[in-house]
């Protein structure tokens, strides 16, 4: 009841030293070390071989050096392409974070950067907007809608090709290989539509992001997917028309995969 300070009852927050998660996992470190050893030893052996060839003949030496430079140049070009793809995916994440921030300055700057890449004709209008919601609405109705429509078209094309391929395949194992190959190709096509050229590592990273985006897209289309699955997996329908039921499910998955990939590549957050 007394109005006196009670220091013993006041809460003093204790800072906790939390270890941050490592940026590279153990398998990534092991694979990076193996790649460095393989490329480094190959480079050293090639250099020794070039020196030996020069000792034998100048013509053989220059020819061997040209072959080594061409081979390692192509290898370096492939590595640079992979790095460029990963950096492009990182830029998409940063743009998405800026557009989701709600801060007028960050949203306006990110909207102009995305418009400069996707549709430069929107830059004069974006420079006049101070409202983040208006800028996002303009991006969704402009390049966002156009790119989503193109991604849906690619998904429908892949669905038709999967149906035709399953009808022609003599083995269910080949059906699985066809669907897997066409799905990976669809992911790469949509990534190229959004300005990215993914390599092996970029495709794997994009597939992981697509799997995360598929949860949102699948939840939005849960009713349609459930109805399609119930209709196409009906035993009577499967007995009547054979593999067409499985082909219909595979085609439906292609369209959902296309929308999930577009959601993973699109920096503009959904409304």
pLDDT tens track for 2-19 = 666 555 555 555 555 545
Q: Write out pLDDT tens, residues 196-252.
A: 877 777 777 777 777 665 554 444 444 444 444 444 455 544 444 445 555 667 777
The mean per-residue pLDDT over the stretch 111-124 comes to 80
Higher pLDDT, 187 or 209: 187
Distance CA 194, CA 114 (A): 11
Confidence of residue 62 (pLDDT cuts 50, 70, 90): very high
Predicted TM-score (pTM) of this structure? 0.65
């Amino acid at each position: 009841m007394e109005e006196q300070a009670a220091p013993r009852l006041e809460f003093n927050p204790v800072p906790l030293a939390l270890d941050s998660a490592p940026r590279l996992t153990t398998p990534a470190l092991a694979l990076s070390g193996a790649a460095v050893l393989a490329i480094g030893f190959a480079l050293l052996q090639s250099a020794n071989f070039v020196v030996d060839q020069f000792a034998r003949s100048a013509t053989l030496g220059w020819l061997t050096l040209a072959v080594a430079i061409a081979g390692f140049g192509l290898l370096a070009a492939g590595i640079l392409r992979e790095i460029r793809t990963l950096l492009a995916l990182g830029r998409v994440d940063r743009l998405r974070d800026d557009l989701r921030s709600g801060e007028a300055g960050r949203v306006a700057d990110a909207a102009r950067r995305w418009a400069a890449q996707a549709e430069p004709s929107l830059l004069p209008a974006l420079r006049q907007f101070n409202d983040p919601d208006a800028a996002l609405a303009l991006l969704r109705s402009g390049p966002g809608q156009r790119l989503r429509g193109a991604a849906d078209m690619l998904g429908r094309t892949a669905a038709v090709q999967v149906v035709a391929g399953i009808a022609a395949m003599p083995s269910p194992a080949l059906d699985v290989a066809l669907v897997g190959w066409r799905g990976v190709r669809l992911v790469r096509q949509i990534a190229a539509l959004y300005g990215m050229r993914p390599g092996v590592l970029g495709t794997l990273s994009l597939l992981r992001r697509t799997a995360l985006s598929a949860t949102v897209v699948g939840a939005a289309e849960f009713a349609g997917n459930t109805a399609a699955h119930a209709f196409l997996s009906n035993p009577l329908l499967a007995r009547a028309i054979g593999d067409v039921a499985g082909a219909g499910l595979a085609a439906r998955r292609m369209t959902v995969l296309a929308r999930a990939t577009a959601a993973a590549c699109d920096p503009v957050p959904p409304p």
